[in-house]
Amino acid sequence: MSERRIVIDPVTRIEGHARITLYLNADGQVENARFHVTQFRAFEKLCEGRPFSEMPALMARICGICPVSHLIASAKACDQILGTRIPPVAVQLRRLLNLAQIVQSHALSFFHLSAPDFLLGMDSDPARRNLFGLIEKHPEMARDGIRLRKFGQQVIERLAGKRIHPAWVVPGGVSEPLAPAAREAILAGLPEMRAIAQRTLVWFKSVLHEFREEAATFANFPTLFLGLVGPDGELEHYDGQIRVVDAAGRIVADRLEPERYRDYLGESVEPDSYLKSPYYKPEGYPDGIYRVGPLARLNIADRCGTHAADQEWAEFRQLERGAVLSSFYYHYARLVEILYALERIEQILAEPQILGRHVRAQAAANHPEGIGVAEAPRGTLIHHYRVDEAGVIQWANLIIATGHNNLAMNRGILQAARRFVDGNRLSEGALNRVEAVIRAFDPCLSCSTHAVGQMALRIELRGPEGELLDEMSRGA
Amino acid sequence: MSVLILGYGNPLAGDDGAGWRAAETLASSLEQPGVRVLTCRQLTPELAAEAAEASLVIFLDASVELPPGKVSCRRVTPQPATAPFSHQFTPAALLSLVEQLYGRRPEAVLFSVGARSFVGENLSSEVEQALPALLEQVKELVARVMQAGKPADEPARSAPSDDFFSVMH
């Protein structure tokens, strides 16, 4: 490995603490890249000794942006410990909550964090390339983003009582049924939200050609794609079974039981990062690289299962003959998923039994182990617990979406850095593109990030003897 | 006439949760049409949409600049954010967003209580003792504006008279 390095430190959008190292050869060209997550959360250890019934509320604290995802995966694991089938109404209510979470989280990623790049330009003044610059230049787009995010949060609030860290999802179901007034209020807001999602899709598709280079170089390479699909191969976020497809779009494995994830997923640990690197076991490490999240979900599904989203999905899949490979298209996939989520919310609210009162099954701990798997906004989320006879947690393992994508993010920054970074002279636009690769994956950053629209970071360019050749910093 | 009360801070970080705790208490004692109470850990851009629907926004927060337990109240006017950092999103910056995005300028006041400790889930004794006075001031302001019917049903575009906020000391 070469000794010349460019270090981006910190990168604030992965759990708050991360850095990127670009290794240069003697000619100043990027030879390798590493993405280091330097923060240790320790949730798997600190929950040991707690009653399993506390786990959903405890695990929701992992993140302030996607607490609902952890709540749901955790509650599903606890359902298995109870050994009970939760009431069908509760399944649909949890599904609603998860869809609302996807709407608000995807809206945050697309409108607040990434739209400044699309609308103001990758090379635009970094001081204005953020949400505030977006508001100034494109207030209508900023308003749309705010409306969508607010809607998603309001649905969560109407269902679960509060927007962040709700305690409504419990082992065995949910704590309260859906109120008729809440149902009506959510339904009333849907037409406007659908209009926002559809006009944003129209706009984004119209500007895609301006980002050909980014699409070509932002983690654009063959990998596997993994996620949940429904019984008929449709898009699924709450239940279902695991499907794996390859870069050609061929199904490599199907109907894998999520509870048997350890049979087909390995977890590698790298010495320079606290973020695990899961891989698909049959292909080994690191060849078993795969991606999860919106791009993967649209690649593995046979269809979305709702009218307008199905049309958008079909058009999306026309981008390539096999699977859509460029991670730049995560942004596009997010918009399709927002539309799908809004349509699906309407479908579920139209079900006559959705106001049913039986929403929770009661039981004690009946099984020593529980595994909960759901699709979070950023990808497949796995919670796995073991308890003793009293229901006290003895061991836990979590695989979070950002981890699944770790290998691909590493390879992605290398690809973009090789294309855009000149090791002898740093440019802000090149630096922003390296960031933007990470941003496309939308790693679970919002619980800890402090920046809106741009990372606070410092890059140092050092020679073979460690001498400082150039440096650039911005933000705090 | 509509009042939005926004209590913000982290209830798991000692006195930082003072605004949150105050808002939670007010949510039950100020249950009336036209008054909405929200709690949040920090101010975020999407709250602009909520604030745009209000005639008066009351922010409740802890302060490190005041002596522990001291309550202060001041009017807030729109001021664009100086740095693009979400954790430094101020009431003035939020109001600026409301103005930029929705063309509205609700009246706004910030009630602050001086904090001493940011550890644990409990408030310090100073803040705990100060809360009743803070709550009374907020209730008095809300009662005054609701009774006066000002600002009007439509979000205010011009500043009301100083007398309107005479509850603020």
ipTM of the complex: 0.72
> How much is the average pLDDT of A165-172?
84
Test mutation, B10, B12, B37, B46, chain A, max A CBs within 10 A: B46
Interval A61-71: pLDDT, tens? 887 778 899 99
Q: How far is CA A402 from the centre of its chain?
A: 7
**Pair type for strands B56-63 and B3-8:** parallel
Helices and strands per DSSP (H, E), number in chain A = 16, 16
Task: Inform me whether the C-beta atom of residue B79 falls under 8 Å from chain A C-beta atoms.
Answer: no
Tokens of A36: 């280091």
How many Å lie between the alpha carbon of B39 and the closest alpha carbon of chain A?
A: 9
Task: Inform me whether the C-beta atom of residue B101 falls under 8 Å from chain A C-beta atoms.
Answer: yes
Q: Residue A145 to residues A18, A36, A66, A191: CA-CA distances in angstroms?
A: 27, 31, 17, 15
Kindly report the average pLDDT of chain B as a whole number: 85
Q: Residues B87, B90, B95, B96: what is their CA dihedral angle, to the nearest 10 degrees? A: -80
Is A341 within 8 Å of A103 (Cβ atoms)?
Answer: yes
What is the reported pLDDT for A232? 96
**Is 60 exceeded by the pLDDT of residue A58?**
yes
What is the reported pLDDT for A315? 98
Test mutation, B85, B94, B100, B102, chain A, max A CBs within 10 A: B85
Give the Cα separation of A372 and B42 in Å (integer). Answer: 30
> How much is the average pLDDT of B3-32?
93
User: CB–CB of A131 and B87 under 8 A?
Assistant: no
What is the reported pLDDT for B6? 97
What is the reported pLDDT for A3? 64
Kindly report the average pLDDT of chain A as a whole number: 88
Q: How far is CA A3 from the centre of its chain?
A: 34
Helices (H), A307-464: 307-317, 330-349, 401-404, 406-420, 428-441
Give the Cα separation of B42 and B85 in Å (integer). Answer: 12
What is the reported pLDDT for A40? 67
Q: Which of A407, A380, A409 is nearest to A277 (CA)?
A: A407
**Is 60 exceeded by the pLDDT of residue A7?**
yes
Sheet strands (E) in A4-101: 4-11, 18-24, 30-37
What is the reported pLDDT for B36? 93
Pick from B46, B50, B86: which is nearest to A452 by CB?
B86
What is the reported pLDDT for A22? 84
**Pair type for strands B35-40 and B3-8:** parallel
Pick from B41, B48, B85: which is nearest to A64 by CB?
B41
The more confident residue out of B160 and A326 is A326
Pick from B39, B45, B80: which is nearest to A112 by CB?
B45
Q: What percent of chain A has pLDDT over 90?
A: 62
How many Å lie between the alpha carbon of B107 and the closest alpha carbon of chain A?
A: 21
The more confident residue out of A450 and A181 is A181
Closest-CA residue of B relative to A143 is B101
What is the reported pLDDT for A43? 82
Least confident piece of the model among A258-272, A384-398, B61-75, B121-135: A258-272
How many Å lie between the alpha carbon of A436 and the closest alpha carbon of chain B?
A: 17
User: CB–CB of A136 and B100 under 8 A?
Assistant: yes
Tokens of B70: 């001291």
Give the Cα separation of B79 and A17 in Å (integer). Answer: 30
What is the reported pLDDT for B86? 52
Give the Cα separation of B115 and B169 in Å (integer). Answer: 19
Q: Contacts of residue B37 in chain A, CB cutoff 8 Å?
A: none
How many Å lie between the alpha carbon of A327 and the closest alpha carbon of chain B?
A: 26
> How much is the average pLDDT of A424-431?
81
Give the Cα separation of B25 and A107 in Å (integer). Answer: 32
**What are the residues whose beta carbons fall under 8 Å from the beta carbon of A204, sequence distance 6 or more?**
A118, A331, A332, A335
Is B94 within 8 Å of B58 (Cβ atoms)?
Answer: no
**What are the residues whose beta carbons fall under 8 Å from the beta carbon of A248, sequence distance 6 or more?**
A321, A322, A323
What is the reported pLDDT for A326? 97
Task: Inform me whether the C-beta atom of residue B80 falls under 8 Å from chain A C-beta atoms.
Answer: yes
pTM over 0.90: no
**Is 50 exceeded by the pLDDT of residue B158?**
no
CA B155-B157-B159 angle, to 5 degrees, is 110
Closest-CA residue of A relative to B38 is A162
DSSP sequence for A262-312: HHHEEEE--TT-SS-EEEEGGG-TTTT-EE-SHHHHHHH-SB-SSHHHHHH
Give the Cα separation of A241 and A231 in Å (integer). Answer: 8
Q: Contacts of residue A451 in chain B, CB cutoff 8 Å?
A: 84-86
Is A384 within 8 Å of A70 (Cβ atoms)?
Answer: no
Pick from A132, A147, A164: which is nearest to B84 by CB?
A132
At A146, is the pLDDT very low, low, confident or very high (cuts 50, 70, 90)?
very high
Q: Give backbone dihedrals phi and psi of A456, rounded to 5 degrees, phi first.
A: -80, 120
Q: Contacts of residue A131 in chain B, CB cutoff 8 Å?
A: 45, 84
Give the Cα separation of A87 and A206 in Å (integer). Answer: 44
Task: Inform me whether the C-beta atom of residue B86 falls under 8 Å from chain A C-beta atoms.
Answer: yes
Pick from B49, B84, B102: which is nearest to A131 by CB?
B84
User: CB–CB of A449 and B48 under 8 A?
Assistant: no
Give the Cα separation of A386 and A378 in Å (integer). Answer: 25
Q: Which of A473, A472, A475, A474 is nearest to A425 (CA)?
A: A472
Is A441 within 8 Å of A402 (Cβ atoms)?
Answer: yes
How many Å lie between the alpha carbon of A344 and the closest alpha carbon of chain B?
A: 24
